[in-house]
Amino acid sequence: MKRFQELLTKDLGWKLLSVAIAAIMWFMVINITQPVDTRSYTRPIILQNQEVLTNRGLTIGNAEELKNARVSVKVKAQRTALDSLTQAPDRIQATVDLSELAYAVSGDTVALPVNVSMQSGITGYDIVSKAPAVIEVKVETLAFKELPVQIMLSNEVPNSIYLSAPTLSAETVIVTGPASAIRQVASVCGYINGETLKDAPTQQVKLAAYTANGEQVRGVFTSLEEITVSYALLDAKRVPIQVDITGTPAAGYQVGSSNCTPKFAEVTGAPEDLEKLVYLQVDSIDVSNATESVSKSYALKEYLPEGVSLRADSNAHAQIVVEILPQTGKEITIDTSQLTMLGQEAGKQYTLGQLRLTVSGEKSLLDGLKAEDLHGTVNVSGLSEGEHSVIVHVDLPDELSANPAYIDVKISGDTEPTENE
């Protein structure tokens, strides 16, 4: 034991000096291989305890400004630790505690400190500085507005594609935000690329609030961030427009030709709905006691059956003009053998009545006109059993015209023939 004490105490000063030199050398090596450095990081501001305002019907008027604000933070640590922090800067949190606004009222502007810290459990870092250290929070009344959702197409739909009106998972949404911002909101819109609808007729569409000038209103929130919008792909069809002429012109006058502009309605719809639509029947034109041409305009959509719509790029109105001419015409009876029926269905019998046609034009042309030279067509497509009055399209020389002619068509089902027959 005595021997050990002598060894421990012998040259004690030199031994203590050696330990000190070793410690100094160790610290020097650590500082050379792991130097301490300072770096700057930019972080967004997190607002905490917003319910302090919303529970009292208030909100932050400059929330959008604060959302875009950034805090510059200087952090001191060993270089390897800073390298790790650079890879995951979200470990630094810049927060503003709104609980200090417990007694604020609408219209107040309050300066609140920015608190910068490391996430819980992360050590070895020192916050050297932060800028800005204080932000201004503007307090406003919390307002809301309910608006219908509008769907807009950012690009044209290809010409070969026809769409139904959109079906929305929500027709209206509530927009919430500062009163000053809510006053600017005029509409809530979702935009769809029309070029994508052929392959994706059902889409999820994000919503945003806009001013009357089409500028997006920032700092407000919609009760739904996005909705489902669905379209149905439709077929297209050209349907002739048909009108009945009633009444008798004044004495010495007769009905001439009628002209419809356009002659066809361009419609879209499901295939089964379009198949049922053979022609578009509009309200009749009354020519009673007329001495000059009678015209009438029709809003075509009022005559469309359910499930059928006008094509977006087609005429919405039709103009029909019925000529009223002095009586200089020639009445001709056309034999039914000179008429061709279109659209007959198997299993039905068709019987045509008598066709009398009044033709107008120059006397020399009328004198040379013979009934056996005239031919026409009768379209019976889609007609059910019973009696019908169907317009006849008669082929006339260009110099002659005729009043609209109708023929009686009787349709019945086939009957089984008797043994004698």
Residue 351's closest CA among 387, 384, 405?
387
Q: Return the higher-pLDDT residue of 415 and 328.
A: 328
| Per-residue pLDDT tens over the stretch 186-236 | 999 999 998 888 888 999 999 999 999 999 999 999 999 999 999 888 888
Comparing 211-215, 261-265, 310-314, 347-351, the range with the smallest average pLDDT is 310-314
How far is the CA of 226 from the CAs of 83, 177, 190, 264, in angstroms? 40, 18, 8, 40
Residue 25: partners with Cβ closer than 8 Å, 6 or more residues away: none
SS3 readout for 168-203: ECCCEEEEEEEHHHHCCCCEEEEEEEHHHCCCCCEE
Q: What was the pLDDT predicted at 402? A: 79
Q: Could you give the CA distance from residue 189 to residue 148 in angstroms, rounded to a whole number?
A: 9
Q: Return the higher-pLDDT residue of 218 and 16.
A: 218
In the CATH scheme, what is the code of domain 330-413? 2.170.120.30
| Per-residue pLDDT tens over the stretch 70-84 | 999 999 998 888 888
- Residue 14 in this model has a pLDDT that exceeds 90: no
Residue 262's closest CA among 211, 214, 216, 297?
297
Topology of domain 141-234, per CATH? RNA Polymerase Alpha Subunit; Chain A, domain 2 (2.170.120)
In the CATH scheme, what is the code of domain 236-326? 2.170.120.40
Q: What was the pLDDT predicted at 2? A: 58
Q: What was the pLDDT predicted at 233? A: 84
Contact 318, 298 (CB under 8 A): yes
Q: What was the pLDDT predicted at 176? A: 95
Provide the β-strand partners of residue 76. 38, 126
Dihedral angle at the C-alpha atoms of 340, 343, 345, 348, nearest 10 degrees? Answer: -50
Q: What was the pLDDT predicted at 29? A: 57
- Residue 173 in this model has a pLDDT that exceeds 90: yes
Contact 189, 211 (CB under 8 A): no
Q: What was the pLDDT predicted at 270? A: 86
| Per-residue pLDDT tens over the stretch 285-327 | 999 999 999 999 999 999 999 888 888 778 899 999 998 887 6
Angle at 178 between CA 177 and CA 183, to 5 degrees: 95
How far is the CA of 418 from the CAs of 7, 160, 346, 415, 421, in angstroms? 144, 53, 20, 9, 5
Q: What was the pLDDT predicted at 418? A: 42
- Residue 185 in this model has a pLDDT that exceeds 70: yes
pLDDT, mean over the chain: 86
Q: Could you give the CA distance from residue 131 to residue 114 in angstroms, rounded to a whole number?
A: 9
| Per-residue pLDDT tens over the stretch 363-419 | 777 778 888 888 899 998 888 888 888 888 888 887 787 777 888 999 988 655 444
CATH class of 36-49+62-97+107-135: mainly beta
Q: Could you give the CA distance from residue 347 to residue 53 in angstroms, rounded to a whole number?
A: 78
